[in-house]
Amino acid sequence: MSLFNSMVSFLFAAFFLLHSVSAFVIKRNNPVFDYTTEKIRGVNIGGWLLIENWLNADLFSQFNGMNNGPTDEWGFCETLGKSEAYNQLSKHWSTFFTADEFARIASWGINAVRIPIGYWAFDAENDEPYVQGQEYWLDQAIEWSRNNNMKVWVDLHGAPGSQNGFENSGKTGSIDWQNDGNINRTLQIMSYVVNKYTQDAYKDVVIGIETVNEPLGSALNMDELKEYDLQVYNMISGKSNSVATVVHDAYVDLSEWTYGAISGNMYNLVMDIHRYQLYQSNECSLTYNDHLNSVCDLGDQIEKNPFITITGEWSSTLADCTLWNASESGSAFTGGNSGDISTWTDQYKNAIRLYVETQLDQFERGGGWFYWTAKSGGATWDMGILIDNGIFPQPFTDRKFAPYCS
In the DSSP assignment, the letter for residue 259 is B
DSSP 272-287: EEE--BSSSGGGGG--
Q: Clarify whether 52 is annotated catalytic.
A: no
Using 50, 70 and 90 to split pLDDT, how confident is the model at 380?
confident
Amino acid 321: pLDDT: 59
Q: Which domains does the chain have, with CATH numbers?
A: 3-24+37-274 (3.20.20.80), 283-305+315-364+371-406 (no CATH)
Is 122 within 8 Å of 164 (Cβ atoms)? no
CA dihedral sign, ordered 207, 8, 213, 133? positive
For residue 270, how far is the Cα from the chain centroid?
13
In the DSSP assignment, the letter for residue 387 is H
Average pLDDT over residues 2-18: 43
Question: Distance between CA 213 and CA 250 in Å, rounded?
Answer: 8
CB neighbours (10 Å) of residue 149?
10
Q: Which of 101, 210, 313, 364 is catalytic?
A: 313
For residue 155, the cross-strand partners are 116, 210
Amino acid 306: pLDDT: 87
Is 239 within 8 Å of 21 (Cβ atoms)? no
Question: Distance between CA 131 and CA 82 in Å, rounded?
Answer: 6
Helices 82-95 + 134-147 axis angle, to 10: 0
Question: Distance between CA 171 and CA 163 in Å, rounded?
Answer: 10
Question: Distance between CA 371 and CA 392 in Å, rounded?
Answer: 11
Amino acid 204: pLDDT: 97
Q: Which residue has the higher pLDDT, 218 or 320?
A: 218
Is 274 within 8 Å of 268 (Cβ atoms)? no
Amino acid (one-letter) located at 313: E
Average pLDDT over residues 235-261: 88
In three-state form (DSSP H/G/I as H, E/B as E, the rest C), the secondary structure along 347-379 is HHHHHHHHHHHHHHHHHCCCCEEEECCCCCCCH
Amino acid (one-letter) located at 190: M
Q: Which of 73, 210, 214, 227 is catalytic?
A: 214
Is 154 within 8 Å of 122 (Cβ atoms)? no
Q: Which of 83, 91, 84 is nearest to 56 (CA)?
A: 91
pTM higher than 0.85: yes
Q: Determine what percent of the chain falls in helix, strand and coil, rounding each to the nearest 5.
A: 45, 15, 45
Length of the chain: 406
Helices 222-237 + 3-27 axis angle, to 10: 40
Amino acid 14: pLDDT: 42
DSSP 309-322: EEEEE--S-B--TT
Q: Identify each DSSP E strand in 218-301 by its residue range.
A: 244-248, 269-274
Question: Distance between CA 209 and CA 290 in Å, rounded?
Answer: 34
Amino acid 181: pLDDT: 98
Q: Which of 268, 272, 261 is nearest to 305 (CA)?
A: 272
Q: Clarify whether 214 is annotated catalytic.
A: yes
For 29, 116, 117, 142, 288, the CA distances from 47, given in Å and listed in that order, are 35, 8, 10, 17, 29
In the DSSP assignment, the letter for residue 51 is -
Q: Report the run of H or E that residue 7 belongs to, with start and end.
A: helix 3-27
Is 341 within 8 Å of 302 (Cβ atoms)? no
Using 50, 70 and 90 to split pLDDT, how confident is the model at 20?
very low
In the DSSP assignment, the letter for residue 52 is B
Average pLDDT, the chain: 88
Least confident of 45-49, 127-131, 224-228, 331-335: 331-335
Amino acid (one-letter) located at 128: E
* 253-297 tens-digit pLDDT: 888 886 565 555 678 999 999 999 875 656 677 889 999 999 999
CA atoms within 13 A on the CB side of 396: 22
